[in-house]
Amino acid sequence: MNLAHIHLLINHFPTIGTIIALGLFLVALVSKSSDLRLASLVLFFLISLITLPTYMSGNAAEEMLRGRTGVSFAAIEAHRNAAQLAVVFMELTGVISWFGLWKFRRQSSFGRGTLPAVLLLSIVTLGVVGYAANLGGGIRHPEIEDSDAKKIPGAKKVLVVPEQRVVVKELEVGGISDFVTDHKWMWPAFQTLHLMGLSLIMGVVLLIDMRMLGVAKNVSFRAVHRLLPWGVLGFSVNALTGMLFFAARSAQYTTNAVFQWKMALVILAGINALYFTMLDDAWTLKAGGDASLAAKAMASLALCLWVAILFCGRMLPFLGGAF
C-alpha cells in the first residue's frame, strides 16, 4: 500500500462521507432531534480532519504519476486546484461544526446562526468536493477520458500527451508556490503565525491538564471549557498556515515520514479535543472535584500528543530527509 493507494481509499470520506453526513444533518434538522444534530456535527468535524491527509496523499499520488503515459496532467492540475478549494470549505464546515458542539455543551442550544451556517457550508462543500472528485475521475479512467478530457477548465498547462513518454517538469505550478517564491517574507511570516497558533494550543492544553491533574482544582471544568475556542483558533491558524506550507512546497512533505506522523498525531489530537468539548465526564467536573481516571488519561494524552506534534514539526528539516 503506497500513498496513492491510500488516497484512493480515504478520498471516500470527504465524498461519500459528506453525502451521508449531510443527509443525516437534513434528517436531524427536520426531526428537530438534538442527538441527530450532534451526531451530524461530529461527523462533519471528523470528516474535516480526515480531509487533510486525503489532500496530502493526493499530492503524493500526483508525484508518483509523473512521467507516466495515459495520464492527463491537465486533469491532475484541475483536480488539485478544485481539491484545494474543497479543503477550504470542508475545514470551514468542520470548524463551525465544532463550534456548534461546544455551544450545545454549554447552553443546550447550538447558537443562533450555527446550524444554518453548517447547512450552507456543507452544501457548498459537497458541491465543490463533487466537482473535484469528478475531475479526479478524469485523470486515469480511459473509459471516460474522451468525453471529459476536452472539457477541463482552468488547467494552465497541458504537459503530457497520452501515448508519449514525456519528462515532466516540476508540477507545483503557479498560484501559491510562485507567490511564496516571489515574496521571500511570506514563509517566515507564516511560520511566525504557526508558532503563535501552537502557543495558543499549548496554553489551553496546559490549563486543561492543570485542572485535570489536580494542580488547579479550584475551578470548575465549565470555566476551562470556556477557553476551548481559543485553542481551536490556534488550531485553525495552524491548519491554514500549514496548508499554505504544504501547497507551496509539497515535495518536502508528502513522502516525509516525520510529516506523516505529524498529520496522524494531529488527527488523534482533534479527536481528543472532542472528548473535552462534548463528553459528560469532563463537563461535570466541579470546582474542587477530583477528575476521573479517564479524564486524567485524556488530559495527559493531549499533552503528549501536542508535544509530539511540536517535536515532529520542529524536526522536519532534520529527520525524515526533507528540505
Partner 1 sequence: MDFLNTLEHNAFSQWVTNSPSAWAFPTFLFLHTTGMSIVAGGSAIIDLVLLGTWPSLPVKPLVRLYPVIWVGFWMNAITGTVMLCADATAKLSSPDFYLKMVFVFSGVYVLHAMRKTVFADPQLDKGPVPRSAKMWALASLFCWFAAITAGRLLAYVGPNKGAIGG
Cβ distance to partner 1 smaller for residue 66 or 222: 222
**Cβ closest to partner 1, residue 73 vs residue 276:** 276
Cβ proximity to partner 1, 231 vs 270, nearer residue: 231
Taking the complex as a whole, the smallest distance from the CB of residue 187 to partner 1 amounts, in Å, to 8
At closest approach, how far in Å is the CB of 207 from partner 1?
6
Q: Measured from the CB of residue 54, what is the shortest distance to partner 1 in angstroms?
A: 28
Instruction: State the nearest-atom distance from the C-beta of 191 to partner 1, in Å.
Output: 6
Question: Would you say the C-alpha torsion 277, 278, 282, 287 has a positive or negative sign?
Answer: positive
Alpha carbons 223 and 171: distance in angstroms, whole number: 49
Our CB check for partner 1 shows the closer of 201 and 285 to be 201
Contacting residues toward partner 1, per CB under 8 A: 188, 191-192, 195-196, 198-207, 210, 215-216, 218-219, 223, 226-227, 230, 307, 310-311, 314-315, 317-319
Where do we find the cell 494550543? 201
210 contacts 69 by C-beta, under 8 angstroms:
no
| 78 vs 205, beta carbon nearer partner 1 | 205
14: left (phi over 0), alpha (psi -120 to 50) or beta: alpha
Buried b (16+ CB within 10 A) or exposed e, 269-306: bbebbebbbbeebbbebeeeeebeeebeebbeebbebb
What is the separation of C-alpha 246 from the centre of its chain, rounded to a whole number of angstroms? Answer: 12
Residue 247 C-beta: closest distance to partner 1, Å? 19
157: nearest Cα among 181, 173, 141: 173
